[in-house]
């Protein structure tokens, strides 16, 4: 079976970075690893994409930088402003993506794939 790759929609990487960094301070490498794991290695954002967005989020004060002396690397954490921005962007995406999720649930049923999610709630 050929490898499947994901072409993520514009803005998804930014939202994922804000979400990941809001859960725990994370380096760029850790963010890439988490996204790869979340997508079963089907999406591996390039370091250039991740660090470009991290720099923009820093300039916009949506994340802040923490230097870890133990590992000698920068880690990023979402600021309160970034958390508010994340919630706004998530809310804006909900109506259009809900349709995609419902179609995905139908396809999963046809293919016999277990899909556990409550799509009726927001």
In a domain, 58, yes or no: yes
Q: Would you call 116 helix, strand, or coil by DSSP? A: coil
More confident call, 89 vs 122: 89
Residue 122's pLDDT is what?
Answer: 40
Segment 14-42 shows an average pLDDT of 93
Q: State percent of the chain over pLDDT 70.
A: 87
Residue 4's pLDDT is what?
Answer: 59
Based on C-alpha coordinates, what's the Rg of the chain? 16
- Looking at every residue in the chain, the average pLDDT score rounds to 85
In a domain, 119, yes or no: no
In a domain, 6, yes or no: no
pTM flag (> 0.75): yes
Q: List the CATH number of the domain containing 25.
A: 1.10.10.10
**Residues 3, 43: Cα–Cα separation, whole Å:** 11
**Residues 85, 49: Cα–Cα separation, whole Å:** 20
Structurally, how many domains does the chain consist of?
A: 1
Residue 27, domain extent:
12-92
Which whole-number Å values give the CA distances from 81 to 38, 53, 65, 88, in the listed order? 25, 16, 14, 11
Residue 78's pLDDT is what?
Answer: 97
75 conformational bin, left if phi > 0, alpha if psi -120 to 50, beta if neither: beta
Residue 1's pLDDT is what?
Answer: 42
**Residues 97, 56: Cα–Cα separation, whole Å:** 25
In a domain, 3, yes or no: no
User: Over the stretch 42-94, which tens digit does the pLDDT of each residue have?
Assistant: 888 999 999 999 999 999 999 999 987 766 789 999 999 999 999 999 888 88
Q: Which two tokens stand for residue 121?
A: 């709630």
In a domain, 41, yes or no: yes
Q: Which two tokens stand for residue 82?
A: 């970034």
| Adjacent-strand bridge partners of 67 | 74
In a domain, 109, yes or no: no
Residue 115's pLDDT is what?
Answer: 60
In a domain, 108, yes or no: no
């Amino acid at each position: 079976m050929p490898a499947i790759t994901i072409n993520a929609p514009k803005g998804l990487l930014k939202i994922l970075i804000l979400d990941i960094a809001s859960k725990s301070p994370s380096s760029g490498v850790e963010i890439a690893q988490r996204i790869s794991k979340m997508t079963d290695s089907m999406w591996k954002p390039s370091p250039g994409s991740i660090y470009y967005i991290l720099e923009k989020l820093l300039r916009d004060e949506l994340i802040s930088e923490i230097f870890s002396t133990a590992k000698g690397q920068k880690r990023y954490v979402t600021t309160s402003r970034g958390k508010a921005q994340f919630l706004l962007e998530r809310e804006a995406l909900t109506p259009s993506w809900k349709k995609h999720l419902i179609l995905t649930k139908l396809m999963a049923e046809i293919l016999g794939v277990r899909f556990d999610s409550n799509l009726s709630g927001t």
